[in-house]
Structure 1
Amino acid sequence: MTAALTLLLIGWPLQRALCGQFEVTVPQTIEVLRGSCVTIPCSFDVENNYESNLDNTCKALWKITLETVVFDSSTPQQNKIKGMTGDLTKKDCTTTLNNMQPEHSKKYFFRVQCNNALKHNFPDQKLEISVKDGPPRPTLTPSTLKVKEGTSVKLTCSAPAPCLSHPPALTWTPSLGDIHETLQENQDKTKFKTSVLTFTASHLHHRQEISCTAVYNKQDGSTESSVTTRLTADILFAPQILPSTDCTNTTGHLNCSCESMGNPSPTLQWHLDGFPVNNSDKFAISSETLNDTGLKSFITWSRPQWRDFSPLLCQSSNSLGSARFYAYIFQPQTSAERYDLMTLAVFITIVVALLVVVCALLLVIRAQKTRHCLLKSKVAMNLGVTNGEGKEVPKATEEDIYVNTADILK
């Protein structure tokens, strides 16, 4: 008994494949925009003994009841719904119905009818057509977006294309990167349009709304559109110190603010000369949350004692990194300090001037002394030479040397 049942289960599909049977394949439902067309993907089969009856005399009919025909491919201009069909000799009953209206929202079934023995209804497989006043909303995938900054992101927008001659046009707002469009097919052979947006995630995209718009062209030339808005994008990024960070001096106080943004939300820490600064009798620190990614910290330093330039650091950190901002603060001097500096400058100037004068005098004295020595040496040499006859001149007395020196100096 079991073997016979197994043979029956195996043999029935095989017999069905070899002998063929009457069946049709159409979608269960199709939504279409009012005033547009609808393309019904359709294929059928007949019993093997009717294969030879599929010829050029065959026509396709779409009916809502056994008596009511809404489309006849042999008289396309006289139908309640105008359109065209595929090649029935190849068992292709794909049909396009034009200018669909709300009253055409019904269930339809297919009939093949030839000028021979082949005439058959397929009422068991019905198609429900739903005519809508507005176009269907496009679908965005993924539905949520949470990625790190720098990651390559792909978003897909898809919308039904019930009318193949007027498929929807898909547009992105904002247009963040490259866009690639294709026309694809569902399992039931209906078509849909897809648009893939590829871009690199940036902190500038965080919390930004991304929308896809589907624009449908009607057969009368008018258009209808629908929009789907998401991917509020959740972009994870390291902290950044904003340009609003600054410091100001008031009498006896130093006031600084530091603003940072990052995702996850960052922490802020003040440092002075390389050491962390916390609340104390000299430092008052407070902070406030600006949004889910922003933080602002304030610090007030009472009675600062340092002078000249000193680095005040604001450091922002989260799990992805950190950022630093150095504020080099100049402490203004008091009137007494400015007077002391001026006095010191005058004193230094006077000392330098005196040193210059003394050095000049010393140089003049040294030059005169050197000149006197040279002249004295020259006179001595002149007095010690021989006369023209080769006889030595008598040595001069000290009085002679003094007289000659005086004559030379005149």
Structure 2
Amino acid sequence: MADQSVRMVTAIVLQSVFFLSDSPPKPSIEIPGDLKEKESVSISCSASTPCPHSPPQLTWNLQPDSHNMTEENTDGTFTTKIQKSITLSHEHDGFIITCSARYPVNEGKGVKTSEETKTLSVSYAPKNTSVSIRPSGLVSAGSWVILTCSSRAKPPVSRFTWFKTYRDGPIKVSEGAFYSFIVTDGGVYYCVATNQLGNQTSSEIHLSITGDLLVGDHFIVKVLGIILLVTTLVIFECWLKSRRSTKPQEDEVEIDYVNMVVE
């Protein structure tokens, strides 16, 4: 009984000293370190309780109407606490936790409030992975195209891998956030974004070619046309050179014939 009376008197004295300032101390939010998606963690908010018979009322945005618990510490002081267990997802990253403590004063006739905030930092595997193409729409054979892979991840994506789909299955064609190449045929492409927590595959993007002929036929026709043009120029140059070399001989024959006629 004596110990309990001493504690009561001590609590009253502490409460009187506690509220000499304009505002009470802020509550404390405890968050486990190294948060990752899909993990279940327990987050708590606690506040000093000078008088256990008149504890502060804690509220936060993690859960409305949270159950307040007042606990006695090993040193004889008291703490009021609320807590909640949650399964983390990438949507929790950047979430701001706000915890308020309302202390009754003047025998419950008044209230003093203090508040604390903390931001969650949650690591997660790549999300919203997508592919874009430039130029968009139909492209012609022999032109350049640039494929871009984008993704949201924490930590950031460490590797982008590009694949092209064939009849026998996908084949890796490149690495990096950008993949540029000269178009020779159409096809279906996609990328895979990877970080240390996992990976995600983008949706497929279809590269379409303009014209009635197949892209392979366009390429072959262009190559054959170039070869034919070069061959024609070479033949014409050779004929021109041979023509120039035979012309003096023809002039000499014509002069001899004229001399014979004169004689």
TM-score by length of 1: 0.42
CA contact (8 A) 1:145 1:233 kept: no
Q: With CA pairs under 8 Å and 6+ residues apart, which has the higher RCO, 1 or 2?
A: 2
* Structure 1 residues 90-139: Cα deviation after superposition (integer angstroms, max 9, x where no partner): xxx67747994xxxx5xxxxxxxxxxxxxxxxxxxxxxx77222111112
CA contact (8 A) 1:177 1:199 kept: no
Match for 1:269 among 161, 164, 168?
161
Q: Displacement of 1:154 after TM fit?
A: 0.4
Which 5+ residue runs of structure 2 have no aligned equivalent?
Answer: 215-263
SS at match of 2:202: strand
Number of residue pairs the alignment of both structures matches: 202
Match of 1:185 in 2: 72
Match of 2:132 in 1: 246
CA contact (8 A) 1:241 1:258 kept: no
RMSD across aligned positions (CA): 3.4
Q: Given the superposition, is the C-alpha separation of residues 176 and 191 from structure 1 closer, same or farther in structure 2, using an over 3 Å criterion?
A: closer
CA contact (8 A) 2:49 2:56 kept: yes
Q: Displacement of 1:148 after TM fit?
A: 2.6
Match of 2:197 in 1: 320
User: What is the distance in 1 between the residues matched to 2:15 and 2:152?
Assistant: 54
User: What is the distance in 2 between the residues matched to 1:264 and 1:132?
Assistant: 43
Q: Displacement of 1:332 after TM fit?
A: 3.6
Match of 1:278 in 2: 174
User: What is the distance in 2 between the residues matched to 1:218 and 1:235?
Assistant: 39
SS at match of 2:185: coil
* Structure 1 residues 351-390: Cα deviation after superposition (integer angstroms, max 9, x where no partner): xxxxxxxxxxxxxxxxxxxxxxxxxxxxxxxxxxxxxxxx
User: What is the distance in 1 between the residues matched to 2:65 and 2:194?
Assistant: 33
Structure 1 residue 172 corresponds to structure 2 residue 60? yes
Match for 1:153 among 33, 36, 41?
41
Which 5+ residue runs of structure 1 have no aligned equivalent?
Answer: 1-23, 26-39, 44-85, 87-92, 106-128, 280-284, 286-296, 339-410
Question: Aligned partner of 1:137: which letter?
Answer: K
Q: Given the superposition, is the C-alpha separation of residues 200 and 130 from structure 1 closer, same or farther in structure 2, using an over 3 Å criterion?
A: same
Match of 1:301 in 2: 181
Q: Given the superposition, is the C-alpha separation of residues 99 and 204 from structure 1 closer, same or farther in structure 2, using an over 3 Å criterion?
A: closer
CA contact (8 A) 2:60 2:99 kept: yes
User: What is the distance in 2 between the residues matched to 1:189 and 1:99?
Assistant: 14
* Structure 1 residues 27-67: Cα deviation after superposition (integer angstroms, max 9, x where no partner): xxxxxxxxxxxxx9616xxxxxxxxxxxxxxxxxxxxxxxx
SS at match of 1:210: strand
User: What is the distance in 2 between the residues matched to 1:234 and 1:94?
Assistant: 40
Q: Which runs of structure 2 are paired with 1:189-208 in the superposition (5 Å)? A: 189-208=76-95
CA contact (8 A) 1:215 1:223 kept: yes
CA contact (8 A) 2:26 2:115 kept: yes
User: What is the distance in 1 between the residues matched to 2:100 and 2:153?
Assistant: 31
Q: Given the superposition, is the C-alpha separation of residues 147 and 177 from structure 1 closer, same or farther in structure 2, using an over 3 Å criterion?
A: farther
Q: Which runs of structure 2 are paired with 1:43-192 in the superposition (5 Å)? A: 96=12, 100=16, 105=17, 131-142=20-31, 144-173=32-61, 175=62, 179-192=66-79
Higher-Rg structure is 1
SS at match of 1:326: coil
User: What is the distance in 1 between the residues matched to 2:100 and 2:111?
Assistant: 12
Match for 1:260 among 122, 146, 151?
151
Q: Given the superposition, is the C-alpha separation of residues 265 and 257 from structure 1 closer, same or farther in structure 2, using an over 3 Å criterion?
A: same
Question: Aligned partner of 1:210: which letter?
Answer: I
SS at match of 1:134: coil
Q: Percent identity?
A: 24
Question: Aligned partner of 2:178: which letter?
Answer: F
SS at match of 1:323: strand
User: What is the distance in 2 between the residues matched to 1:157 and 1:322?
Assistant: 35
Match of 2:206 in 1: 329
Question: Aligned partner of 2:90: which letter?
Answer: H
CA contact (8 A) 1:184 1:193 kept: yes
User: What is the distance in 2 between the residues matched to 1:133 and 1:211?
Assistant: 21
Structure 1 residue 236 corresponds to structure 2 residue 123? yes
CA contact (8 A) 1:239 1:322 kept: yes
Match of 2:261 in 1: none
Q: Given the superposition, is the C-alpha separation of residues 240 and 133 from structure 1 closer, same or farther in structure 2, using an over 3 Å criterion?
A: same
